[in-house]
Amino acid sequence: MTARITPLIAGNWKMNGLTAALGELQRLGELLTAGTAPRCTVAVCPPATLLARVSAQVAVSGIVTGGQDCHPAQSGAHTGDISAAMLADAGAQFVIVGHSERRTDHGETDSLVHAKALAAVAAGLTPIICVGETEAQRRGGEAAAVVRRQIAASVPDEAQGIDVVIAYEPVWAIGTGLTPSLEDIRDMHGGIRAQLVERFGAAGERIRILYGGSMKPANARDILAVENVDGGLVGGASLLANDFYAIISAV
């Protein structure tokens, strides 16, 4: 991890979670408050239907919440969308933008992700800006170049003076159980850090870089020990209190 940066472990529930899932959050809160306080910020990003209830429930245990996406506009005729201001109103502190599933399923471009990140900041949220290569791009030796282009176009210039988070998620590792080697993760995160410092100077040293892509209790400790890995964006494992707590405890 990077010295002087408070790690972030964020759970992305994706399109999962009904009212019954609040029981797992209750259990997670009990685990977090029973012993030593976690050495990281813990965030949960539930579906929008649960966000307000989750925000109210987890406040006593120190967990914060986030949305999974936002529209670049503050309001308007955008049926089915949700604005960053609405997420903040529901208690969120973070919002994920540019996740590979949004880029793939909805054709989101870097310029749209850039606009969403700016909307998040305007609403007082911290955007978690996702980047990552496909399997074909990695096999073709393009991984570093792809991620560099995504960061250049998705991360707003204003990141120098505001709180943003970068999440590196190799697309081929999300939900597959596959993970890059620790050396691959070290190289990619090191490259991201170098790009951030090149662009933002000293501020680039303070931007959190998360790893995402099949992080689970069995590999969390090793991944989180890699230089420039400042936490994790956790998918399936964040749905189960014991698994998510094990990852949090690995920090």
Catalytic residue annotation: 99, 169
Give backbone dihedrals phi and psi of 180, rounded to 5 degrees, phi first. -65, 165
Cα 206 from Cα 226, distance rounded (Å): 16
The enclosing H or E element of 8 equals strand 8-12
Cα 43 from Cα 190, distance rounded (Å): 24
Cα 129 from Cα 204, distance rounded (Å): 14
Angle at 117 between CA 83 and CA 228, to 5 degrees: 135
In 117-239, DSSP assigns E strands to 126-131, 165-168, 208-212, 231-234
Cα 118 from Cα 52, distance rounded (Å): 23
Q: Is 161 exposed, middle or buried (0-12, 13-18, 19+ CB in 10 A)?
A: exposed
